[in-house]
């Protein structure tokens, strides 16, 4: 579609303050695609309402997520940055793809099972069909690669199944996308329960390091991170807490696990936790500075949203129209 330039698409929900999990597992990697791919990065506000949101918070976080994209190095001249609800084709294609998705397939989605346990008072149809909207997000742009954390891999695989099923009936409609996960950092764990993924909607704020936490808060949270009764810094089975901290240190510094084991030989957990807190705070400081600057000009952010939505809608409309024609919908001009 873009003279053979491959396409990268991904999104982040403005469903809470973004975490270092969202940063290391997803956003930090988005920029690396800008040179070789046509990139679409979306703030997926329609996904966020599968769980109840306070409207004022959702609005604020939508601006913040866009500002964070740019603060994390996504240049709007090289990447199409936009808000999902500004491009109506996402919801429209989702309806069409619903008719090509099995109830059984959706029932098997781990995130649906987890979230319906967590929000037992609001197991809505949107929570169930969330992966179909995500498939529409991806397929609208004839996407080749989807950079995501491990938790979203199952959804991208379902998207591939839906696209293959559609293509088998209506050939050459969709490009089949590949999930791309960071070699390290694709699943950052909670600091309070390192067997659980770090999540922006976790009620325990000490379990989560937010991208916008100040230096003291970051260091305090790492100091309190749950580890084990061993004393040496080594990566091993059953040491989930320390493994998680080593992964975080490794991704922020670029050092290998072996380098880290050597660096901290003979030193205790206290020293190591302090070091992880410091590298994390150092790495996030420039992101926070740029974020403040982008947030101080709301008109500019809105102009950016508008430009991104126009660029995205141009491509999305072409795919949607192709799908509608293949399905036999009457086209009027």
13 binds ligand AQP (CB under 6 A): yes
Q: Identify whether 322 is a catalytic site residue.
A: no
**Shortest distance, position 99 Cβ to ligand AQP, whole Å:** 24
- Between strands 79-83 and 145-147, the pairing is unpaired
* Binding residue (CB under 6 A) for ligand AQP from 7, 8, 15, 38: 15
245 binds ligand AQP (CB under 6 A): no
* Binding residue (CB under 6 A) for ligand AQP from 180, 198, 245, 309: 198
Q: Give the separation between CA 230 and CA 261, rounded to whole angstroms.
A: 14
- Between strands 38-43 and 79-83, the pairing is parallel
Q: Give the separation between CA 185 and CA 32, rounded to whole angstroms.
A: 15
In whole angstroms, what separates CA 25 from the centre of its chain? Answer: 7
Q: Which of residues 64-103 bind ligand AQP (CB under 6 A)?
A: none
- Helix, strand or coil, per DSSP, at residue 43: strand
Q: Give the separation between CA 251 and CA 183, rounded to whole angstroms.
A: 9
* Binding residue (CB under 6 A) for ligand AQP from 8, 17, 22, 80: 22
Length of the chain: 333
- Helix, strand or coil, per DSSP, at residue 54: coil
- Select the span of 20-28, 35-43, 168-176, 294-302 touching ligand AQP (CB under 6 A): 20-28
Q: Give the separation between CA 231 and CA 202, rounded to whole angstroms.
A: 28
* Binding residue (CB under 6 A) for ligand AQP from 29, 142, 199, 243: 199
313 binds ligand AQP (CB under 6 A): no
Q: CA triplet 151, 130, 62: central angle to 5 degrees?
A: 85
User: Between 80 and 152, whose beta carbon lies closer to ligand AQP?
Assistant: 152
Q: Identify whether 197 is a catalytic site residue.
A: yes
**Shortest distance, position 72 Cβ to ligand AQP, whole Å:** 12
Helix pair 240-253, 269-295: axis angle to 10 deg? 50
* Nearest alpha-carbon partner for 33 in 214, 150, 177, 192: 177
**Shortest distance, position 15 Cβ to ligand AQP, whole Å:** 4
39 binds ligand AQP (CB under 6 A): no
Interface map 151-190 toward ligand AQP (x if CB under 6 A): xx---------------------------------xxx--
148 binds ligand AQP (CB under 6 A): yes
247 binds ligand AQP (CB under 6 A): no
Q: Give the separation between CA 209 and CA 287, rounded to whole angstroms.
A: 14
* Nearest alpha-carbon partner for 203 in 104, 119, 291: 119
What are the residue numbers of the active site?
Answer: 115, 197, 200
**What is the binding site for ligand AQP (CB under 6 A)?**
12-13, 15-16, 19, 21-22, 25-26, 148-149, 151-152, 186-188, 197-201
């Amino acid at each position: 579609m873009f003279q053979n330039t491959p396409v990268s698409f991904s999104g982040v929900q403005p469903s809470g303050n973004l975490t270092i999990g969202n940063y290391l597992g997803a956003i930090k990697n988005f920029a690396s695609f800008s040179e070789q791919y046509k990139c679409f990065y979306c703030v997926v506000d329609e996904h966020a309402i599968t769980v109840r949101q306070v409207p004022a918070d959702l609005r604020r976080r939508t601006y913040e997520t866009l500002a964070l994209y740019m603060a994390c190095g996504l240049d709007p001249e090289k990447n199409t940055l936009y808000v999902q609800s500004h491009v109506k084709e996402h919801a429209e294609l989702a309806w069409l793809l619903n008719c090509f998705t099995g109830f059984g397939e959706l029932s098997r989605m781990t995130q649906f099972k987890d979230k319906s346990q967590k929000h037992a008072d609001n197991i809505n149809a949107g929570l169930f069909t969330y992966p179909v909207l995500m498939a529409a997000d991806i397929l609208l742009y004839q996407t080749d690669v989807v950079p995501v954390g491990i938790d979203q891999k199952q959804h991208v695989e379902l998207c591939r199944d839906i696209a293959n099923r559609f293509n088998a009936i209506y050939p050459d409609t969709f490009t089949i996308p590949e999930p791309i996960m960071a070699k390290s950092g694709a699943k950052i764990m909670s600091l309070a329960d390192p067997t659980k993924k770090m999540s922006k909607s976790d009620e325990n704020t000490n379990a989560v390091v937010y991208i916008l936490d100040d230096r003291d808060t970051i260091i305090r949270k790492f100091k309190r991170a749950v580890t084990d009764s061993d004393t040496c810094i080594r990566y091993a089975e059953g040491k989930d807490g320390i493994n998680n901290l080593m992964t975080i240190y490794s991704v922020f510094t670029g050092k290998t696990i072996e380098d880290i084991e050597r660096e901290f030989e003979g030193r205790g957990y206290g020293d190591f936790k302090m070091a992880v807190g410091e590298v994390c705070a150092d790495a996030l400081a420039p992101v926070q500075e740029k974020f403040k600057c982008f947030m101080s000009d709301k008109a500019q952010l809105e102009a950016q949203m508008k430009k991104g939505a126009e660029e995205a809608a141009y491509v999305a409309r072409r795919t949607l129209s192709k799908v509608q024609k293949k399905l036999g919908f009457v086209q009027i001009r």
